[in-house]
Amino acid sequence: MRLPALKHLLDAVQSLARADRIRVLGSSALLASFPELGEAGGPLELSFDADLLLEPCDEQLAAMLHEAVGEGSLFAQRTGYNADILRPEVSATLPPGWEGRLVKLGETDVVAALSPEDLLVVKLRAGRAKDLELCRALIHRQLVTSSAVRQRLEQTPLNEPEIRPVYERLREISE
């Protein structure tokens, strides 16, 4: 996804929802810090969705937004990209203090994106191959340092079974 596409999607969501806050939490959050990642040859070139957390947002609004701009919507068919509307519970999976490190996206304070280091913590915890490739690309392009990600991980409460795998993944992507 390119930054103009993300902004178009955010404008569409905001025009429908009139949210107080919109947070970009998935991989497309990186476009706020590194717009070039969505360009040809970038790791987000083939990303076609944005994970969005809106405040306020109830189930009725989430359903309406899914129908309007979600996967399979006419908007998605026409533009080639869509929004995944997240539920507030997702914030429990984010590193402590994430809201204070948001990266502003646009002219107002309404829209902001997860910081790159916070996103990498989320991706390392998920451990999917595509997530690890994205993490590896960011570290190898020197956009994020493994020491900064390690520091963020050390501040993040992890369940006992996930501690070893998460740190092993960080070591693997840093090589």
Higher pLDDT, 175 or 62: 62
All structural domains of the chain with their residue ranges: 1-114, 116-175
What does the pLDDT look like over 72-95, one tens digit per residue? Answer: 999 999 999 999 999 999 998 899
Asked if 168 and 127 touch (Cβ cutoff 8 Å), the reply is: no
pLDDT (0 to 100) of residue 40: 94
Distance CA 33, CA 35 (A): 6
Distance CA 123, CA 128 (A): 8
pLDDT surpassing 90 at residue 123: yes
User: Residue 75 CB: number of other CB atoms within 10 A?
Assistant: 20
Return mean pLDDT, the chain.
96
What does the pLDDT look like over 23-38, one tens digit per residue? Answer: 999 999 999 999 999 9
pLDDT (0 to 100) of residue 20: 97
pLDDT bracket for residue 107 (50, 70, 90): confident
End-to-end CA distance of the chain: 27
Helical segments of the chain, H only: 3-17, 30-33, 59-69, 74-79, 116-126, 129-140, 146-154, 160-174
Q: Is the dihedral of CA 13, 86, 3, 79 positive or negative?
A: negative
For residue 148, give the amino acid letter: A
User: CATH assignment of 1-114, given 3.30.70, 3.30.379, 1.10.1760, 3.30.460?
Assistant: 3.30.460
